[in-house]
Amino acid sequence: MTEGLFANLSQTGLDPDPAREAIAAKFLLADPDGARLSAVFRQTFDLLYDGQHTGRYRWDQLMKTEKTHYGSLFEINLRRAFDDVIDDVPDESSVLDYRVSGYDIDCKYSQKMHGWMLPPECFGHLLLVATANDEKGLWSLGVVRASEVNRRKTENRDGKTQLNQRGTAQIRWIFRDQPLPPNILLTLDPEIIRRIFSLKTGQARILQLCRLVTGRRIGRNTIATVAQQDDYMARVRDNGHGARTRLRKEGYLIPGEYAAHRNVARALDQPLPQAGEIVSIRVVPAQVGEFPAVEIGGRWWRVAQDGEEVTEPAPKLPRV
């Protein structure tokens, strides 16, 4: 994702504005590949869905009032995640949200690109403008000044307006159209979703998730949304009743974020689970010379092909 940094270094046609450039540079220095910002957007979506308690995972499942709350949550989460960038909170007399590199700036979020509403108190000031789309898996963040020449002349009854065409062209993009951490439930076929969520217990749904969604990174929030239970990660563990135990007889390995588990996934040429993630892999014994394959417990194993019958239980994952 370093292309976000290079795009900003080469962006042209902007009015001179040292404060805008200082703020953009501060965020880029702290997050050159956008990973931290990406995590803030993902966290904000997941907090709104509250999948652990509601089973929701899509934007269209939210009520209108919940959707409007995204901006406030994003502002709070960004402040917490970037306390090394946001120098301090403006004093009580300030009407703006943040102070970065000594400059006050207001944080604005819109579901749609260029849809930011600008109240009179931010006129003339710098804005941190953000947008994200979970269905498309993209987010953007930039800095622009709400100057008179950058604003529309028309205002609503509250005195709010928006950036005009010139103003949107004056956004210094810190990152644009960058990928969100995946919301895997949004990518699944509706029939697979039905087969998972039609089951009555959280453990049964997790088992079905691991059977039907293989070779994909499955995150903690997805597990929470499917399980809808307090100790949702227990539904995965090798604890006698979790998925690692119960699906072993069906030929499934379910490595997690641990180094030993990641080595198994790497050897099988499967996605590497990141922090809080798992990858479900159906395996069968490998023949001499088959590749990719992994040695576990003195035997070699490979990924089972679609429709291939599993005749032996999968091995136990290495101890961590």
- Per-residue pLDDT 10s for the chain (320 aa) are 444 444 444 678 999 999 999 999 999 999 999 999 999 999 999 999 999 999 999 999 999 999 999 999 999 999 999 999 998 665 666 778 999 999 999 999 999 999 999 999 999 999 999 999 999 999 999 999 999 999 999 999 889 999 999 999 999 999 999 999 889 999 999 999 999 999 999 999 999 999 999 999 999 999 999 999 999 999 999 999 999 999 999 999 999 999 999 999 999 999 999 999 999 999 999 998 899 999 999 999 999 999 999 999 999 999 88
Compute the C-alpha angle 277/223/48, nearest 5°. 105
Domain count, the chain: 2
Same domain, residue pair 68 and 170: yes
Q: Is 137 a member of any domain?
A: yes
Question: Residue 182: is the preceding peptide bond cis (ω within 30°)?
Answer: no
Q: Is 314 a member of any domain?
A: no
The CATH number that applies at residue 25 is 3.40.600.10
For residue 310, give the amino acid letter. V
Q: Is 311 a member of any domain?
A: no
Same domain, residue pair 166 and 188: no
Residue 292 confidence (pLDDT): 97
Q: Is 240 a member of any domain?
A: yes
| Residue pair 294/270 in contact by the 8 Å Cβ criterion | no
Residue 11 confidence (pLDDT): 79
Q: Which helix (H) or strand (E) holds 131?
A: strand 126-133
- Listed residue (113, 122, 125, 108) closest to 155, CA to CA: 122
Pairing of strands 86-88, 252-253: unpaired
| Residue pair 41/48 in contact by the 8 Å Cβ criterion | no
Domain hosting 280: range is: 184-303
| Residue pair 301/270 in contact by the 8 Å Cβ criterion | no
Distance CA 186, CA 198 (A): 17
Q: Model-level pTM?
A: 0.88
Helix (H, G, I), strand (E, B) or coil at 275: coil
Q: Is 129 a member of any domain?
A: yes
The CATH number that applies at residue 204 is 1.10.10.10
Residue 1 confidence (pLDDT): 41
Q: Is 151 a member of any domain?
A: yes
Same domain, residue pair 229 and 298: yes
